[in-house]
Structure 1
Amino acid sequence: MANVPGGMATKNKKHFLGVPAPLGYVAGVGRGATGFTTRSDIGPARDANDVSDDRHAPPSKRKKQKDEDEEDEEDLNDSNYDEFSGYGGSLFSKDPYDKDDEEADAIYEAVDKRMDEKRKDYREKRLREELERYRQERPKIQQQFSDLKRCLVEVSDDDWRNIPEVGDARNKKMRNPRAEKFTPLPDSVLSRNLGGESSSTIDPASGLASAIPGTATGMLTPTGDLDLRKIGQARNSLMNVKLSQVSDSVSGQTVVDPKGYLTDLQSMIPTYGGDINDIKKARLLLKSVRETNPNHPPAWIASARLEEVTGKVQAARNLIMKGCEVNQKSEDLWLEAARLQPPDVARTVIAQAARQIPTSVRVWIKAAELETELKAKKKVFRKALEHIPNSVRLWKAAVELEEPDDARILLSRAVECCPTSVDLWLALARLETYENARKVLNKARENIPTDRQIWTTAAKLEEANGNSHMVEKIIERAVMSLTSNGVEISRDQWFKEAVEAEKSGSVLTCQALIKSVIGHGVDDEDRKHTWMEDADTCANQGAIECARAIYAHALAAFPSKKSIWLRAAYFEKANGDRQTLENLLQRAVAHCPQSEVLWLMGAKSKWLAGDVPAARGILSLAFQANPNSEEIWLAAVKLESENNEYERAKRLLAKARGSAPTPRVMMKSAKLEWALQDTSTAMKLLEEGITKFPDYPKLWMMKGQIEEQLDKLDSAQASYNQGLKKCPNSIVLWTLLAALEEKRGHLTKARSVLEKGRLRNPGNGVLWVEAIRVELRAGMVAIANSMMAKALQECPTAGVLWAEAIFMEPRPSRKTKSVDALKKCEHDPIVLLAVSKLFWSEGKYQKCREWLNRVLKLDSDLGDAWAYYYKLETMQGTDESRADVMKRCIAAEPHHGEYWCKVSKNIENWKMPMDQILVDVAAHVPLPT
């Protein structure tokens, strides 16, 4: 074997040696061995769908060239056996799924698809309803906070920047429970507190030596103790070495003072929080500026203030005093030096300044301020006036310290030294007697011919002393004199002067000023418009007499303008008393006898004052000037009926029907009989009125309401239907008929009536609201919501619809709905009232008040707003606020509103006063929920 060549050995080598085992090979399987696997063979857990790595895949089937019986023979080998599924292979030799089954499955699938399409709409609708109901019961967080997100628009940039950072609220143990902090103790604490006695050494056995950084056993003294003094000396030596290293090797001078470095640093830290390097740079720069230009005062002032900021007050004082020595004529330096010095030293400094700069007004005033006694102050000012006699500021300051007699003497000297100062002349005139004041003002006019204040002061002086006839002459001369001296007459300045004159109590001067300049620079065609604007501006500023003077001048220029008389009358009604109003109205009807409103205002003023005969007299004169006037007839009837003169009222109405038969006269006649419970006469009058005026809807309304009151529901229904044939555009008739049908239990008819009304009157929000409320009262909430959506599409700007929609929403989404309503109807009073009720329901009463005031400012005739306001003040306000609302409501005299009309239009309340109506309506309006 030894002679066998190596090549022969390689050739006879077995083919399986060194070759990896085939897949699925199990050693000894031919001898009855059973294969097994371990976790290391399987590897990590895999998903059922993962691709196998075929590490232990079952052995592949060898193709045998046998007949079909041998191929179909079941493989019962152990390698084909599984513990759970048994032997591999199919249970059946053939696939049972054929073409017939496939065709049947396709047919079934088509049928299922068709049935699914039929139910799809219903299923999706049901799913949407369930989702909507779920969202209403459990709104998203995004919906709950949508109003707060919308309020983020109002947050300013400063508010964003001032939002505090979120700190760590956890305690120390929670923040870092395992952290250990070691803080070295200074030797001063150890030496002061060691054993309660002062000691300069530490016993190594005590363990405190380890608390001192840099200590080791080799540093201990021969006695075994740690010497604290030596440690301190070593630290100072180390500091000296470090300071020596930063010395300037070129100049040989140290940049840093070793002794004062730490002291300066400690004195600087508490007073200044900035960077010390910046301070040093600024100090060097300012030093360079001072050395370059020592005669520049701002450099000295800046240097002193820098030292003051850093806490070196004495250095600042030294610097500023040095600057004063270099710049002895700079008042800024001297004033800064006086500010930095203590009071005693400051007086000395300011005295030096006065000697160096005797003509500086600021220095003398500072000197007076530093004095504590009044006598010393006066002495300083008199000394100052010797040096600067033409300083108005010094004269004013000196006069303020004197008594009236001494002040008059000083002012007489002051006007000689400062003849062009208007304030000094006027001050002297105020202190003088009447005769002397006239002389003073004449001299002032000679010295200052271009100032209007002297003229107006002269006019006020004459008015104060009873010379009323001189006031207008002085103002006229003032305009002429100022114009001749080249002074431009400005209407705004003169109007401002008139307002100031009124505030000071000089009414005649105010009126004269208005009269003199009201037409200045105004074109003839613009006079009326411009003057009315001026009157409104003065009234808004509280200048009542100025506005009254403007109206008087406008009425003198346009005596036949009814609009000006009316505006003046309303102004007197709001700002004047009854006498001034009646005087104005007497002049008004004399110039405009055909103006019914002016006659009626005069009669009402007399009636409210309790003078009924005078009111009758005014109305009789009005009849003469305006025969057959409906307004005057009805005013006379109301006057008699309110004063229980029913027979006189009936006779007046009979005359009116005979001479001026208008539908309103017929309606008022029937209403009076109805109020007096004579329904038969009222029905006769209504029949007569309907015959003459069939297209007047209020006659049909009253006829149906009387029949409803008499429980003749069929007749009422017929009356409403006939009225709607004649007046299909009357919204109230449609709502009355629908309410009657609902009252009779005919819900379907009520819906039909409202639908017909909407067809005849498209785009009307009131009919939509009535229809929605009918569904809500019937419990059909889903139908009501659907109708509301349609209504808002048809009437997107109807305020009554948006107001109703806000409170139909769930509480979390009402704010969002209110925002949408305000976008669509920003200036609708009903929407604003709904928003105020929303604030009330949330408990925001002050917000509710603000919005109610906005509603009343926009429409003071809305009675519901007054009722809600009064109810709010009754529940959440005070007696004063409630009385204020009552007073404002009586002055406004509202007539409209859903709840207001139910009370005020009730025939049983036809004589109820306004305050009682307000209380009654406030009791009936529902609380916002």
Structure 2
Amino acid sequence: MDLRRKGRREARLKQEIEKYRASSPKITEQFADLKRKLTDVSVQEWESIPEIGDYSARNKRSASRASCRAGHSAREGPAGARACHGAGPQEQRRWWHRDAVGEGRGTVLSLKLDRLSDSVSGLTVVDTKGYLTDLNIMKIASNYFSSNAEISDIKKARLLLRSITQTNPKHPPGWIAAARLEEVAGKLQSAWQLIQRGCEEFPKNEDVWIEACRLASPKESKAVIARGVKAIPNSVKLWLQAAKLETSDLNKSRVLRKGLEHIPGSAGYGRLMLLHRAVECCPLHVDLWLALARLETYDKARKVLNKAREKLDKEPAIWITAAKLEEANENTQSVSKMIERGVGSLQRGGLDIDREAWLKEAEAAERAGSVLTCQAIVKNTIGFGVDDEDRKRTWVADAEECTKRGSIETARAIYAHDLGVFITKKSIWLKAAQLEKSHGTGESLEVVLVKAVKYNPKAEVLWLMHAKDKWLAGDVHAARAVLQEAYAAIPISEEIWLAAFKLEFENNEPERARMLLTKARERGGAERVWMKSAIVERELGNVNEERRMLVEGLKLFPSFFKLWLMLRQMEARIGHGAMAKEVYENGLTHCPGCIPLWLSLASLEERINGLSKSRAFLTMARKKNPATPELWLAAIRAELGHGNNQEADSLLAKALQECPTSGVLWAAAIEMVPRPQRKSKSSDALKRCDHDPDVIAAVDKFFWHDRKVDKARSWFNRAVTLAPDIGDFWALYCKFELQHGNADTQRDKWQATSKAVENSHQPVDAILRRVVLALGVEENHNAAEP
């Protein structure tokens, strides 16, 4: 029944409420129309409205006080007093105490306001924003009268602060003051909740976070400040507060260094504040001192480093930083002195000088751009812990290691110190010159070479390097002058004579080259002088003079096989085939172990008398020179050239048994097997000789034929890296990049093209193009054959 009547009962109650509200409206509803009209009130009218106060309470209190004073002045006795106040003497004393407390509180408040004020031009100015946060709420002693006053004040303050936080929730001091009020009232949980809301409302205000850290328990304070620095990572106050919460110096140092990492470079002042505080908290951490010195001006940085040396008298980094500071301010004379003083001070302090550690500091100084500091460190510490007999070897090894790591200035400083001790050592000058050639400038290389030939006038390699450097720089006259000085210093040096010949010959001065070689022959030149003389005559087209030079040279040096080869080439060039064969036979009599002579004779016999005669000469050559892959390869190619594939396979099998690690034979094996078997054969070859350039080139061609362009390019790079002096590989690589097709016909083209007379003065790139062109012509010719 109750459930059935519930609907009617609620409807009736609702009607009664609406009827009551219609007859007795709320105050807000009565003045709703007036409140809407307030939008038309101007700012001046708002400001002219007087402040309202509790005049009734004030009038009542004033009337009571006046009545009391009147009663006492009349001296009407107890009856008169009771008539005045309506109470006895005890009640009168209470009124007097209340007045005294009120006056005292007013006096205290006025004193606080005076302290917070500042006289500016005769006016009293109060910081209203800081008043809420800076005013410490005083607790009044709890007695019968003061406790009531305190409770009343807290209630009023709470209402006032609640109004502030509600009407202006974006005012941080209001939340801080509300939290402090609850703390004074003893309600720590309420204070914590209020400051938590403040942190949520103002995550970017550092004062709110610091207040929250203060109100939090010791266990929670670190978590609170961590949230704060996460919200404001560039706040110096928060990082300092976080460091203050740590108990050990190590943890303080970690916090401060982490703060330095998060503070951006624009906050220079904040970083300075943080570092000043950091060195106060952690005076034994050198990183903080050095960071502070880097941010200060020159004069202040010197003072900071001096203080750091007082605290850390055994720390090398302080002296090194001081030297960098002097170098940065262009006090070059002070850099070396600073390092010297530092090393001496550390030694007197009982610290061992670790040469390896100081060299690492020198490399670090070089990377930082402090070259003079790097040189000073090397000069003053390179000799520690090294025996006199090991100095040269150890210092050269140090320089080479620095060069490998890219520390060129450190290596240069080590070589400079090394040459100051071993000034006549040719090997050190060569290494120093090579360093300048690879990583220096032309001027720096010139300086080293001039000093090198000055202190080592009998070292022909230094003279040659100096002359070549001038020649490569395009100054032929200077190179010629250097070689003339070398003649005077070493008149019997064949290398210098040949270098002078090459300079004149390559610069199209054949007559000057011929004159130099004539003088060299008169001075008793060796076989190379006669070979170069024949080359000059060949260049000038004097066949008879060329033959004379070769014949006279062979009489003096019959075991020099290159003269026999040149004489055979000359006879073949002018069409004297029989004379060419005779030259080979005579050459093999004097040079039976010369493989190029055997190969050339076999090739000549194949052209003149056919395969059988060539086969016989190659068999004889293999008997006299066993385990020679080139002879086996020549026999295999001869059989393949005449279509004898089975004989070629048989020879290849025997060759691999005799020379199982020969790269050229495995490369031929890869090329000779059918295409489906090349992958397995390549695998076998790589197992036998993985780093052989001929095998790598054969695998290149295998990938190229299978159109695996990326793999082929990678293996071509590997081949030319392993054997950069083999021109055939470069030609094959160039042809691959030009996409000229199959390159099986590229045998020996580089040698034939580069040694041609018309190409004797051509640069390498021109010869390479001609080799590629020859490969393309030969391939097109082979493709046209049936």
TM-score by length of 1: 0.57
1:785 to 645, 649, 654: 649
Partner amino acid, structure 2, of 1:381: W
Matched, 1:630 2:494: yes
Query: Does the CA-based 8 Å contact 2:236-2:273 persist in structure 1?
Result: no
Query: Does the CA-based 8 Å contact 1:361-1:394 persist in structure 2?
Result: no
Q: Distance in 1 between matches of 2:756 and 2:353?
A: 61
Matched, 1:440 2:298: no
Alpha-carbon distance change, 603 to 360 in structure 1, aligned in 2, over 3 angstroms: farther
Corresponding residue number in structure 2 for 1:572: 436
Query: Does the CA-based 8 Å contact 1:354-1:360 persist in structure 2?
Result: no
Q: Distance in 2 between matches of 1:873 and 1:423?
A: 55
Corresponding residue number in structure 2 for 1:749: 613
Higher relative contact order (CA closer than 8 Å, sequence separation 6+) = 1
Alpha-carbon distance change, 868 to 591 in structure 1, aligned in 2, over 3 angstroms: farther
1:100-120 per-position Cα deviation (integer Å, ceiling 9, x unaligned): xxxxxxxxxxxxxxxxxxxxx
Matched, 1:420 2:275: no
Matched, 1:371 2:221: no
Q: Distance in 2 between matches of 1:510 and 1:843?
A: 53
Corresponding residue number in structure 1 for 2:9: none
Corresponding residue number in structure 2 for 1:639: 503
Q: How many Å apart are 1:527 and its aligned residue?
A: 2.6
Query: Does the CA-based 8 Å contact 1:637-1:653 persist in structure 2?
Result: yes
Matched, 1:550 2:414: yes
Q: Distance in 2 between matches of 1:364 and 1:450?
A: 39
Corresponding residue number in structure 1 for 2:541: 677
Q: How many Å apart are 1:553 and its aligned residue?
A: 2.0
Corresponding residue number in structure 1 for 2:568: 704
Corresponding residue number in structure 1 for 2:767: 917
Partner amino acid, structure 1, of 2:765: D
Alpha-carbon distance change, 421 to 787 in structure 1, aligned in 2, over 3 angstroms: same
Corresponding residue number in structure 1 for 2:678: 814
Alpha-carbon distance change, 491 to 842 in structure 1, aligned in 2, over 3 angstroms: farther
Corresponding residue number in structure 1 for 2:755: 905
Query: Does the CA-based 8 Å contact 1:600-1:619 persist in structure 2?
Result: yes
Corresponding residue number in structure 2 for 1:886: none
Q: Distance in 2 between matches of 1:592 and 1:355?
A: 81
Structure 1 residue runs without a partner (length 5+): 1-333, 877-896
Query: Does the CA-based 8 Å contact 1:864-1:900 persist in structure 2?
Result: yes
Alpha-carbon distance change, 473 to 379 in structure 1, aligned in 2, over 3 angstroms: closer
Corresponding residue number in structure 2 for 1:381: 239
Query: Does the CA-based 8 Å contact 1:450-1:485 persist in structure 2?
Result: yes
How does 1:176-187 map onto structure 2 within 5 Å?
Answer: none
Partner amino acid, structure 2, of 1:455: W
Query: Does the CA-based 8 Å contact 2:486-2:496 persist in structure 1?
Result: yes
Corresponding residue number in structure 2 for 1:392: 253
How does 1:24-173 map onto structure 2 within 5 Å?
Answer: none
Query: Does the CA-based 8 Å contact 1:657-1:666 persist in structure 2?
Result: yes
1:648 to 478, 488, 512: 512
Query: Does the CA-based 8 Å contact 1:343-1:370 persist in structure 2?
Result: no
Q: How many Å apart are 1:913 and its aligned residue?
A: 0.9
Q: Distance in 1 between matches of 2:701 and 2:420?
A: 49
How does 1:297-336 map onto structure 2 within 5 Å?
Answer: none
Q: Distance in 1 between matches of 2:610 and 2:287?
A: 86
Corresponding residue number in structure 2 for 1:692: 556
Matched, 1:863 2:727: yes
How does 1:693-772 map onto structure 2 within 5 Å?
Answer: 693-772=557-636
Q: How many Å apart are 1:709 and its aligned residue?
A: 1.0
Partner amino acid, structure 2, of 1:672: V
Q: How many Å apart are 1:449 and its aligned residue?
A: 1.7
1:450 to 300, 314, 317: 314
Q: Distance in 1 between matches of 2:770 and 2:231?
A: 71
Query: Does the CA-based 8 Å contact 1:738-1:753 persist in structure 2?
Result: yes
How does 1:411-560 map onto structure 2 within 5 Å?
Answer: 411-560=275-424
Partner amino acid, structure 2, of 1:629: S
Q: Distance in 2 between matches of 1:909 and 1:775?
A: 32
Partner amino acid, structure 1, of 2:228: A
Query: Does the CA-based 8 Å contact 2:203-2:228 persist in structure 1?
Result: no
1:243-276 per-position Cα deviation (integer Å, ceiling 9, x unaligned): xxxxxxxxxxxxxxxxxxxxxxxxxxxxxxxxxx
3-state SS of paired residue (2:457): coil
Query: Does the CA-based 8 Å contact 2:506-2:761 persist in structure 1?
Result: yes
Q: How many Å apart are 1:394 and its aligned residue?
A: 4.1
Query: Does the CA-based 8 Å contact 1:365-1:394 persist in structure 2?
Result: no
Q: Distance in 2 between matches of 1:448 and 1:679?
A: 84
Higher mean C-alpha deviation, range 780-789 or range 792-801 = 792-801
Q: How many Å apart are 1:369 and its aligned residue?
A: 3.6
Partner amino acid, structure 2, of 1:914: V
Q: How many Å apart are 1:768 and its aligned residue?
A: 0.9
Q: How many Å apart are 1:549 and its aligned residue?
A: 1.4
1:750-782 per-position Cα deviation (integer Å, ceiling 9, x unaligned): 111211211121111111111111111111111
Q: Distance in 2 between matches of 1:569 and 1:520?
A: 26
Alpha-carbon distance change, 476 to 841 in structure 1, aligned in 2, over 3 angstroms: farther
Partner amino acid, structure 1, of 2:226: K
Q: How many Å apart are 1:396 and its aligned residue?
A: 4.0
Q: Distance in 1 between matches of 2:420 and 2:504?
A: 36
Q: Distance in 2 between matches of 1:533 and 1:619?
A: 32
Higher mean C-alpha deviation, range 812-821 or range 569-578 = 812-821
Query: Does the CA-based 8 Å contact 1:368-1:381 persist in structure 2?
Result: no
1:116-147 per-position Cα deviation (integer Å, ceiling 9, x unaligned): xxxxxxxxxxxxxxxxxxxxxxxxxxxxxxxx
2:639 to 775, 782, 791: 775
Corresponding residue number in structure 2 for 1:178: none
Query: Does the CA-based 8 Å contact 2:599-2:631 persist in structure 1?
Result: yes
Partner amino acid, structure 2, of 1:602: H
Partner amino acid, structure 2, of 1:368: G
Corresponding residue number in structure 2 for 1:125: none
3-state SS of paired residue (2:458): coil
Q: Distance in 1 between matches of 2:610 and 2:245?
A: 104
1:496-517 per-position Cα deviation (integer Å, ceiling 9, x unaligned): 2222211111111112222233
Partner amino acid, structure 2, of 1:785: D
Query: Does the CA-based 8 Å contact 1:904-1:910 persist in structure 2?
Result: yes
Q: Distance in 2 between matches of 1:360 and 1:415?
A: 27
Q: Distance in 1 between matches of 2:318 and 2:469?
A: 44
TM-score by length of 2: 0.67
Q: How many Å apart are 1:544 and its aligned residue?
A: 1.0
Query: Does the CA-based 8 Å contact 1:629-1:660 persist in structure 2?
Result: no
3-state SS of paired residue (1:744): helix
Q: Distance in 2 between matches of 1:473 and 1:582?
A: 30
Partner amino acid, structure 2, of 1:756: M
3-state SS of paired residue (1:796): coil
Higher mean C-alpha deviation, range 483-492 or range 671-680 = 483-492
Q: How many Å apart are 1:642 and its aligned residue?
A: 1.3
Q: Distance in 2 between matches of 1:529 and 1:860?
A: 30
1:622-662 per-position Cα deviation (integer Å, ceiling 9, x unaligned): 11222222211111111111111111111111111111231
3-state SS of paired residue (2:517): helix
Query: Does the CA-based 8 Å contact 2:213-2:224 persist in structure 1?
Result: no
Partner amino acid, structure 2, of 1:624: A
3-state SS of paired residue (2:583): helix
Corresponding residue number in structure 1 for 2:523: 659
1:712-755 per-position Cα deviation (integer Å, ceiling 9, x unaligned): 11111111111111111111111111111222252211111211
Query: Does the CA-based 8 Å contact 1:852-1:869 persist in structure 2?
Result: yes
Q: Which has the higher helix share?
A: 2
Alpha-carbon distance change, 757 to 917 in structure 1, aligned in 2, over 3 angstroms: same
Partner amino acid, structure 2, of 1:782: Q
Matched, 1:582 2:443: no
3-state SS of paired residue (2:567): helix
Partner amino acid, structure 1, of 2:253: V
